[in-house]
């Protein structure tokens, strides 16, 4: 049986539909979720919902974080401002594999305007199923984290 994770998830209005889609898919797979908002497609400011996800992951309250917006770029920037968070924008399953295997990312950012709903689910499930390779990548992670 695949490993399950505790996941914090958040989006702005432009990522709301995919947030809801991902929540349903991941809960069905046995993951536990905390939705940090937003709760509609009404315009809002993404840092209000993304920073709480990143802080919860950095504090160890959740093993993984998923952040969503229109492109995913602003969301990744906000998440990466929190010490201890490594978040990358992923738009293919291969990019998601590298995000985990090479960067030990504990957060993923998805752009709802850039991929299909089916791709979003596949990308996140692939990301969750991928382990960090360690090895030569570990020294790079330590440099990123300032260790």
Give the number of residues written for the chain: 147
Cβ-contact 9, 53 below 8 angstroms? yes
For this structure, is 137 an active site residue? Answer: no
Cβ-contact 121, 77 below 8 angstroms? no
Q: Which of 102, 119, 133, 137 is catalytic?
A: 102
Measured in whole angstroms, the distance separating CA 89 from the mean position of its chain's CA atoms is 8
For this structure, is 75 an active site residue? Answer: yes
C-alpha span between 98 and 94 (Å, rounded): 6
C-alpha span between 69 and 110 (Å, rounded): 7
C-alpha span between 79 and 15 (Å, rounded): 15
**Cα diameter, the chain:** 45
Indicate which residues carry an active-site annotation: 75, 102
């Amino acid at each position: 049986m695949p490993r399950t994770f505790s996941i914090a998830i958040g989006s702005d209005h432009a990522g709301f539909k995919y947030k809801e889609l991902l929540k349903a898919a991941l809960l069905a797979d046995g993951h536990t979720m905390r939705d940090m908002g937003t709760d509609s497609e009404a315009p809002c400011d993404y840092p209000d919902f993304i920073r709480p996800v990143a802080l919860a992951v950095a504090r160890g309250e959740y093993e993984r974080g998923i952040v969503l917006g229109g492109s995913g770029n602003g969301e990744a920037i906000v998440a990466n401002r929190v010490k201890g968070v490594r978040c990358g924008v992923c738009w293919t399953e291969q990019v998601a594999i590298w995000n985990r295997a090479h960067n030990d990312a504990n957060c993923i950012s998805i752009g709802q305007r850039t991929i299909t709903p089916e791709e979003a689910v596949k990308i996140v499930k692939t990301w969750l199923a991928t382990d960090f390779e360690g090895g030569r990548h570990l020294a790079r992670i330590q440099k990123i984290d300032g260790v």
